[in-house]
Structure 1
Amino acid sequence: MRRTLAIGDVHGCLEELRELLRAVDYRAGEDRLVFVGDLVDRGPDPVGVVREVRALEARGDVLAIMGNHEEKLVRWFKRVDEERTLGKKNAMTPPAPDRLAQWEAFDEEDRAWLASRPITAEAAPGWTVVHGGFESVAGAEQKPQKMLRCRWVDPETGKMIALAEGALAAPRGVVWTERWRGPSHVVYGHAVHSLESPRVDRPLPDVECWGIDTGCCFGGHLTALCLETRAITQVRAHTKYADLHGADE
């Protein structure tokens, strides 16, 4: 049986990714890999992760969508190039020195590949993959910045509650999946609901939403979900690379 294997946020955890692919017995040319975004930042080897996924893509059926960390990285590259060629001041706040060193290690091919990642796509028949989530507003256009970052929505309007506001106003906000009305199932990352297991919501009898970011970089697990069978495979993080409570977006 051909499998579609969705992989949670890797965040630079190259050795855990390799271990997970062995654990799930990934077969290039037979299985499809779907990465939910955020390959980079936080972990020890984001450049290695990007190049590993690019190599996997060259050998098999691989879909890697953009996460908010890739989007921020791509914006940084663009601003640096504009500063160099046009003398236009880079208005973005520089990242911490260790992260800046990681960013500067990406070569031009890496940067072009990262910039070409889709925001959302069909992962498998009946399944959509997105990094963050979707607003639930009838007839409204889904905006890329919101799809990358959505965690909570207003329970009445279905509109996204921003991170800072959502953190303070969680009692009046709900996880976006509770308002999702399909028609497709969704697999997503971005929000660490648990360091142990994926979050599963069934907002309608025939609609499922799977959140598979189980915080590998925070000392949790890296998770693979087979979309056809709902089988879960996990590997534990080798160590805690970042602090969950001090994490940025």
Structure 2
Amino acid sequence: MGKEQAFIIGDIHGMDQALDDILKKWDKASQQLVFVGDYIDRGHNSAATLQKVYALNQEEGAICLRGNHEQLLLDFLDHPMMNWNLYKRNGGTTTISNILEIPELQINTFSAKRIAKEVMQTLPWLRDWLSHLPYYYTFGEFIVVHAGVDLSLTDWRQTKPFDFIWIREPFHYKDNHTGHTIIFGHTPTMMLHQNFNDFSIWQEDRKIGIDTGAVYGGRLTAIVIDAHTVLETYQIETHKEN
């Protein structure tokens, strides 16, 4: 029998202490735990965050959605030479440094193939786990997704995999005709509010943005829903890493 509520956590980006703090608000007896993706990159401890999220998935049945940063890491592991520069530009060096426990400067002396091989030796479960992360989750009247869905389609489920994890403006500003409220991360809400000091949740047209800039000195957000309603919101303040 499914749980009556869901506890949905926004983009973590390696902010492991904020994750630990917000999980104290989760009631695992009554709430399905859901992560919207982007567990890694940019923050100071992506390895610890990955291990925590993976353990919650394996041991507590947490739903772990695929974010664009998980896809970037998976693409790098699958084709290191082709994708290393792109992954580096998106904060991947900090994640690799955490996983291999070596300084970032040292990583840059290694070949892409060597880095990928050592990551997979260190975390042998990682590649397979990343490759099976789902793109969306539905709970009652809600859709939970990393970036958004293609609202030009008659059936939002036909959204391309790329758009589920990368879409921005075409989703934010197109009318939501899905009949569902859509909870998403990916785009920091400061950008949606057009105010870089506003770390609040963004809500418009039955769309709820919960990437409240945890890795940018903002907050890590979780919301609690039942089948029809947002019941509660929690936010943990973070401090931008130097």
Alpha-carbon distance in 2 for matches of 1:181, 1:100: 41
> Is residue 149 of structure 2 the alignment partner of residue 134 of structure 1?
yes
User: How many pairs are equivalent?
Assistant: 203
Distance in structure 2 (CA, Å) of the matches to 1:93 and 1:77: 9
Root mean square deviation of aligned Cα: 2.1
Counterpart of 1:218 in structure 2 is 216
For 2:135, the equivalent position in structure 1 comes to: 119
- Please name the residue that 2:22 is paired with: 20
Q: Distance in 2 between matches of 1:98 and 1:142?
A: 31
Map Cα deviations across residues 168-190 of structure 1 (whole Å, 9 max, x no partner). xxxxxxx24x4221122111000
Matched, 1:179 2:162: no
Asked if structure 2 preserves the Cα contact closer than 8 Å seen for 1:197 and 1:214, the reply is yes
For 1:70, give the aligned amino acid.
E
The answer (yes or no) to whether the contact 2:12–2:220 under 8 Å persists in 1 is yes
Matches of 1:193 and 1:65 in 2, distance apart? 19
Task: After superposing the two structures, state which structure 1 stretch, 40-49 or 69-78, moved more.
Answer: 40-49
Give the Cα separation in 1 of the matches to 2:153 and 2:70.
29
CA contact (8 A) 1:32 1:60 kept: no
Q: Which sections of structure 1, spanning at least 5 residues, go unmatched?
A: 81-89, 154-159, 161-174, 203-207, 243-249
TM-score when scaled to structure 1?
Answer: 0.75
Rounded Cα–Cα distance in structure 2 between residues aligned with 1:129 and 1:98: 27
Gaps of 5+ in 2: 101-118, 191-197
Question: Does the CA-based 8 Å contact 1:127-1:184 persist in structure 2?
Answer: yes
Q: Percent identity?
A: 25
Higher helix share: 2
Q: Are the counterparts in 2 of residues 66 and 117 from structure 1 also a CA contact under 8 Å?
A: yes
CA distance in 2, matches of 1:3, 1:121: 13
Tell me how far 1:44 sits from its aligned partner: 1.1
Structure 2 letter corresponding to 1:107: L
| Rounded Cα–Cα distance in structure 1 between residues aligned with 2:96 and 2:58 | 28
Runs of 4+ in 1 over 3 A off after TM superposition: 96-100, 102-106, 138-141
Once residues 73 and 93 of structure 1 are traced to their aligned partners in structure 2, the CA distance between those partners, rounded to angstroms, is 9
* Structure 2 counterpart SS, 1:200: strand
